[in-house]
Every structure is written in structure tokens, then in C-alpha cells.
């Protein structure tokens, strides 16, 4: 069984700041680091480090060739990554504050140059039972989801960053949703996800997507797994000294899906994912913060 991550590849410019810049303000950053990132690349690296045969598909410009090497060093097969001459690689401007929190400006660049021909070419290399992992940083998602469904791939969707267009996707084709609180609320049409009690959100998600698996991550509050009308499973978050939360959610997604593909039970995969995410939070950067399987399995704070 193979995992295909069809998603973004970004150059992350991470500025360490004392606080996020406000309207009209100019601030100095304490440091600037350039990291490999993009939700797609991060999740591909996490899937591969979790121990599954992983392929990445997407587009970069010639300025992003070093990102291909990062993927390959993590064991990801990059034969489906296209290098485009006329596009710049996607990038992210990330402010990382003293609490480890971040805020991000995204420039899609080559990530938005996916074509249906490319999607067809990529998907023809996969078969029923393989797993497709998607986020919301590339174009042509509706087409990719429909084609993947026809082929019989298992479709995992992390609808991040959340925006109105996600509601137009063929969500009925999705087998597994990886969501945070805000994404859950928006999928449910609620105004304020923070106001909703966890139990309400979980119940409503189960009702809205009765045949899908749903994983709801809530940072320090842990995570939940729900399927159909079954009882939700709760996973605690492992303690970690937060340095940079960038890619913690991507790490969780890759290790949970990777764990399940390797035959772990839901509680085992949730536990492994929570350990991996805690390690990632304590390290700076996006994909460089993603642990190996051995590190995640051994994490005992």
C-alpha cells in the first residue's frame, strides 16, 4: 500500500519576533531562518518518517530544487514533482513569537499551477487501496478528489488553510478528515468554533460526515477520533516546551495516517501521532522539526 501526498511545497521564511507585527507597525526580527515547508511537503515527510512508502506530487519553480533534495533525504519519492520554468516556488512568510505561536502569509506560486493532465498522469501510478493525502494549498482539488474516488484511493483531507472554496469540494468522497477546531466549525457552518463545546463539535461532525473517519486536533487539549455514531476516542497531548508550532498539525497527520497504514490500531496511531507532534513543537522550523519514527515511539517526557 502506497501513500501519495498531492500538495504544496514551500520555502518558509521564518522570522523569530517578540510579538506579531500590528497594523501600521514596523518591527525587527531577532532571526531569519529559511526552512523547507508547505503543508504537502511536511505531511509527505511525516508519512515517510512514519514508515510508509510515500510519493509526493506537486509543482515547484527552479528556485525550489533544494526542497526536492529534502524530500528525497526523508525517503520520499519525488518522481511526480514537476519543476516549472516560469513559476516561482510557493513560499510562506512566517512570524514565530516567543510563545512558539505563528502567523503565516502564503504565496501559492507553482503550487497553483497543477493541471488536470498532471493530476491524471500522477493518479495513473496508483491503485485501489492506496492512500491519497490532500491539503488546501494547491489548485484542481475537486478534480483530483473525483478522479481518486473513481480509482478507489482512500482519500484523506486536511482542509487547511480553511477557506470558503473548501465547502464546494466533493466532501462526500473523503474517507478521513484531519481537522482543527476552526476548520471543524467552518465545515459545520458555525460562526465561532471557539465558542462551541468539544462534545458539540464532535457530535455535529459525526452527524455531518457519518461514513468518514474524523480526527479533531485541539493543541494542548489533545485530540479526538470519531467514526459514524461511535463513541469518540480521546488522546491526550504530550507535554512539550513550545518553540515553534509550525508543522505540528502536519506531523500529527503524517504519523496518524502512516501508523494506520502500517496496521496500528486507532488508539496506537493517535498515541504515536501525539508523541510525534509534541517533538515537532519543541523544534524550530516546518519539516526539519518532524521526528523519525524511532524518536516518536521513544518520546517519554
Tell me the CB-side half-sphere exposure of residue 197, using CA atoms within 13 A. 3
> Could you say whether residue 183 binds ligand RIB (CB under 6 A)?
no
First to last CA, the chain: 33
Report the nearest approach of ligand RIB to the CB of residue 57 (Å). 16
109 touches ligand RIB by CB under 6 A: no
Quote the least distance from Cβ 44 to ligand RIB, whole Å: 12
Residue 286 near ligand RIB by CB under 6 A:
yes
| Residue 249, marked binder | yes
Q: Which residues from 122-161 bind ligand RIB, rule CB under 6 A? A: 137
Nearer to ligand RIB, 138 or 148 (CB): 138
What whole-number distance in Å separates Cα of residue 238 and Cα of residue 278? 6
Is residue 104 a contact point for ligand RIB (CB under 6 A)? yes
CB of residue 185 vs ligand RIB: minimum separation in angstroms?
Answer: 19
250 binds ligand RIB (CB under 6 A): yes
Is 111 assigned to a binding site?
A: no
251 is in an annotated binding site: no
250 catalytic per annotation: yes
Q: Which residues, 6 or more positions from 128, have their beta carbon under 8 angstroms from its beta carbon? A: 151, 152, 153
For residues 5 and 58, give the distance between their C-alpha atoms in angstroms, rounded to a whole number.
Answer: 9
Q: Which residue is nearest to ligand RIB (CB)?
A: 37
Strand order in the sheet with 10-16: 31-37, 10-16, 90-96, 102-107
Could you tell me the smallest distance in angstroms from the CB atom of residue 180 to ligand RIB?
11
Q: Is the dihedral of CA 33, 43, 177, 257 positive or negative?
A: negative
Question: Within positions 44 to 73, which residues make up the interface with ligand RIB, using CB under 6 A?
Answer: none
The pattern of x and - marking residues 1 through 40 that bind ligand RIB according to CB under 6 A reads -------x-x-x------------------------xxx-
Phi, psi of 102 (to 5 degrees): -140, 160
Cα–Cα–Cα angle for 261, 263, 266, nearest 5°? 90
Which amino acids are annotated catalytic? 250
Amino acid at each position: 500500500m502506497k501513500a501519495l501526498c498531492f500538495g504544496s511545497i514551500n520555502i518558509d521564511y521564518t522570522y523569530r519576533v517578540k510579538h506579531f507585527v500590528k497594523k501600521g507597525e514596523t518591527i525587527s526580527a531577532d532571526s531569519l531562518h529559511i526552512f523547507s515547508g508547505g503543508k504537502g511537503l511536511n505531511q509527505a515527510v511525516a508519512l515517510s518518517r512514519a514508515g510508509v512508502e510515500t510519493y509526493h506530487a506537486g509543482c515547484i519553480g527552479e528556485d525550489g530544487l533544494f526542497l526536492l533534495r529534502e524530500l528525497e533525504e526523508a525517503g520520499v519519492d519525488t518522481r511526480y514533482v514537476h519543476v516549472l520554468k516560469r513559476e516561482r516556488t510557493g513560499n510562506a512568510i512566517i512570524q514565530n513569537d516567543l510563545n512558539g505561536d505563528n502567523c503565516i502569509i502564503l504565496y501559492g506560486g507553482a503550487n497553483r499551477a497543477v493541471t488536470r493532465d498532471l493530476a491524471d498522469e500522477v493518479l495513473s501510478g496508483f491503485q485501489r487501496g492506496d492512500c491519497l493525502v490532500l491539503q488546501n494549498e494547491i489548485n484542481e482539488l475537486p478534480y483530483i478528489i473525483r478522479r481518486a474516488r473513481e480509482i478507489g484511493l482512500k482519500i484523506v483531507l486536511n482542509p487547511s488553510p480553511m477557506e470558503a472554496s473548501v465547502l464546494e469540494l466533493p466532501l462526500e468522497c473523503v474517507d478521513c478528515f484531519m481537522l482543527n477546531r476552526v476548520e471543524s466549525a467552518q465545515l459545520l457552518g458555525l460562526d465561532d468554533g471557539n465558542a462551541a463545546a468539544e462534545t458539540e463539535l464532535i457530535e455535529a461532525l459525526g452527524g455531518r460526515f457519518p461514513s468518514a473517519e474524523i480526527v479533531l486536533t485541539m493543541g494542548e487539549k489533545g485530540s479526538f477520533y470519531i467514526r459514524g455514531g461511535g463513541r469518540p476516542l480521546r488522546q491526550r497531548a504530550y507535554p512539550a516546551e513550545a518553540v515553534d508550532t509550525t508543522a505540528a498539525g502536519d506531523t500529527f497527520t503524517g504519523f496518524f495516517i502512516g501508523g494506520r497504514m502500517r496496521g496500528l490500531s486507532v488508539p496506537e496511531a493517535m498515541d504515536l501521532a501525539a508523541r510525534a507532534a509534541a517533538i515537532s513543537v519543541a523544534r524550530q522550523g516546518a519539516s526539519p522539526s518532524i521526528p523519525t519514527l524511532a524518536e516518536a515511539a521513544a518520546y517519554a517526557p
